[in-house]
Structure 1
Amino acid sequence: MYRLFVAIDLPGSVRAQLADLGRELDGVRRVPPDQLHLTLRFIGNADDECFQRIKDSMATVTSPPFTLALAGVGCFPSPRRPRVIWAGVTADERLTLLQRAVETAVAAAGIPPEERPFSPHITLARLKDAIPEGFSAFQSRHGEFRAEPFAVEEFLLYSSTLTAGGALHRREASYRLTG
């Protein structure tokens, strides 16, 4: 059984910037720098046959390469009850088109459509209960956060294994953007 998602990987320099941001937060479970990514579509559990259909369907996605920039920090679901602390992604039509193409490919593989709207972000940390001390100061300090724009030339199919220390991600396939 696979637990799958489709994502854009981040360059090392952007990972380093995001890891520096995350170090300022206490009382949270930070995402390790090598696990930082931009999720295009969380798929969930899939058996071997479904995994192969998804893998094959992703190969049909066509989209040109583009440049992406990160901007700002925030949280889900709300500042009063944050569960996820994230870095934002600047709006980009090409990212939206890629995500829609991925969604179409996932549907073609027999997976029900995602009901929630796409909200591009990079998860920096997760928390279970209390708002971490200094969180509002962190948000104020980094509300205008910017990372150097980077080229997106591929997207990836990942599997994820849940462990006591958090999820471990493994690249299952990569797909070049062309056009």
Structure 2
Amino acid sequence: MPRLFTGLEIPAEVGLALSMKRGGLNGARWIDPENYHITLRFIGDVDNTTANDVADSLDQLSNSMSFQVRLNHLSTFGGNTPRALYAGADVNESLVRLQAAQERVLQRAGLEPEGRKFVPHVSLARLRGSSAQDVAWFLAQSGRFEPLTFTVGRFVLFSSKDSVGGGPYVVEQSYPLAA
């Protein structure tokens, strides 16, 4: 039974720049740069028939236009109990439109609606035992975040193994966007 999600790949040069933020945070389990991505829609564990339906349904979105994504800050999820460090992306109309279109298509394919608000980001580390104070210190010491911009020419259907998180992820199918 595959565990699936859709997302945007991070170009190698952007991944390299993000990987320079690694280190110096107690309790951080750093994600390998080759597993960096922006999740558009978590699908979850599905049977093979549903996986094939999902892959076929996403085909109708390949006429979407390519666009740019700009990563512009570091932040965390979890508030006083931080659980993930991430690089946040600007919310732009093209990105939101692609994510919303995927949500509609996947619901028509029989999936339950996504319960979480879409927050475009690249997870850099999973945090366990990191205090809010540790994270605040890390963010203060990391210096100014130089924005990183890249062009999105496709989105992909990823699969992952049932694990603690952070990969490895496999591209099951790609969907090119119009130039």
TM-score, length of structure 1 as denominator length: 0.91
Which runs of 5 or more residues in structure 1 are unaligned? Answer: none
Could you list the per-position Cα deviations for residues 87-129 of structure 1 after superposition, in whole angstroms to 9, with x for gaps in the alignment? 1101211100010011112112110111211111111111223
CA offset digits 1:119-168 (Å, max 9, x no partner): 11111111223328742122124474133311000000000003468532
CA distance in 1, matches of 2:150, 2:130: 34
Is the 1:74–1:143 contact (alpha carbons within 8 Å) kept by the matching residues of 2?
A: no
1:143/1:6 CA distance change after superposition, 3 Å: farther
Q: Structure 2: how far apart are the matches of 1:96 and 1:31?
A: 25
**Could you tell me the percent identity over the aligned residues?**
35
SS at structure 2 position matched to 1:114: coil
Question: 1:8-62: CA deviations, max 9, x gaps?
Answer: 0011111011111123434211111100000001110011100000000010113
Could you tell me which residue of structure 2 aligns to residue 30 of structure 1? 30
Distance 1:21 1:50 in 2: 38
Aligned length: 178
Residue 146 of structure 2: aligned partner: 146
CA contact (8 A) 1:77 1:84 kept: yes
Gaps of 5+ in 2: none
In structure 1, C-alpha distance between the alignment counterparts of 2:142 and 2:67, rounded to whole Å: 25
Q: Work out whether 1:88 is the aligned partner of 2:88.
A: yes
Separation in 1, partners of 2:170, 2:116:
25
Residue in 2 aligned with 1:168?
168
TM-score by length of 2: 0.91
For the structure 1 residues 67 and 32, does the alpha-carbon distance in structure 2 shift closer, same or farther, using more than 3 Å as the test? same
Going from structure 1 to structure 2, the CA distance change for 1:140 and 1:134 (only over 3 Å counts) comes to same
Q: 1:41 aligns to what? A: 41
Q: Which runs of 4+ in 1 moved over 6 A?
A: none
Partner of 1:115: 115
Secondary structure of the 1:69 match is strand
Q: Secondary structure at the match of 2:115?
A: coil
Q: Distance in 2 between matches of 1:115 and 1:134?
A: 30
Q: Which amino acid in 2 is paired with 1:45?
A: D
Correspondence for 1:51: 51
Give the Cα–Cα distance (whole angstroms) in 2 for the partners of residues 118 and 163 of structure 1.
Answer: 23
Letter in 2 for 1:102: Q
1:5 maps to a residue whose letter is: F
Letter in 2 for 1:38: I
For the residue of structure 2 that corresponds to 1:107, the secondary structure is: helix
1:72 aligns with 73
